[in-house]
């Protein structure tokens, strides 16, 4: 969706959205759909108001197609350089089924806790939608990436990990 938010709202990608919706329906199983994942990653440059409109546009499009085997995932990058409040990008309770984060290193534990608290406040389950070690510590006396990942999963009641 980078660089395409206004085009999506202008209908340029309606055919693509319809095709994805048809595929989800035919999948005949639950599908977790991340719309504009890592919405708050500075490199994605999603303007919050436009992002929210696009998120709603896609959800409404799928609902209009009768796509009901889908859960909509609102996925934060929890990137350390992001200083804006993540709620600026929140499309609304009626549009979000899951709150998600990316988890790449132990330095993200505090940010993960903040997002987990927000998910609890919103009464949404928490997902780690992307997880892989980056900048891991393997030296003696340091927590491994996997240990911190499992700690976050347990401490923050993460319900789904990808």
130 is catalytic: yes
Catalytic residue among 38, 47, 49, 154: 38
* Active site (annotated) includes residue 154: no
Q: Which of 22, 130, 154, 156 is catalytic?
A: 130
Q: How far apart are CA 38 and CA 46, in angstroms?
A: 9
Which position has the token pair 């035919």?
Answer: 26
Calpha distance 130→132 (Å, rounded): 7
- Rounded-to-integer distance, Cα 150 and Cα 160, Å: 12
* Distant-in-sequence, close-in-space partners of 73: CB < 8 Å, separation ≥ 6: 32, 33, 34, 35, 37, 96, 97, 98, 99, 100, 127, 129
- Report, as residue numbers or ranges, the catalytic residues: 38, 130
């Amino acid at each position: 969706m980078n660089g395409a938010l206004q085009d999506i709202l202008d209908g340029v990608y309606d055919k693509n959205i319809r095709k994805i919706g048809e595929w989800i329906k035919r999948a005949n199983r639950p599908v977790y759909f991340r719309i504009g994942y890592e919405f708050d990653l500075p490199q994605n440059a999603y303007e919050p108001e436009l992002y929210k409109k696009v998120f709603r546009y896609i959800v409404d499009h799928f609902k209009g197609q009768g796509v009901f085997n889908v859960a909509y995932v609102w996925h934060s990058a929890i990137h350390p350089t992001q200083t804006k409040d993540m709620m600026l990008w929140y499309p609304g309770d009626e549009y979000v089924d899951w709150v998600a984060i990316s988890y790449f290193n132990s330095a993200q534990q505090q940010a993960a806790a903040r997002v987990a608290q927000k998910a609890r406040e919103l009464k949404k389950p928490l997902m780690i939608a992307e997880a892989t070690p980056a900048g891991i510590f393997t030296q003696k006396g340091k927590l491994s990436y996997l240990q911190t990942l499992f700690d976050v999963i347990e401490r923050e009641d993460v319900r789904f990990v990808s």
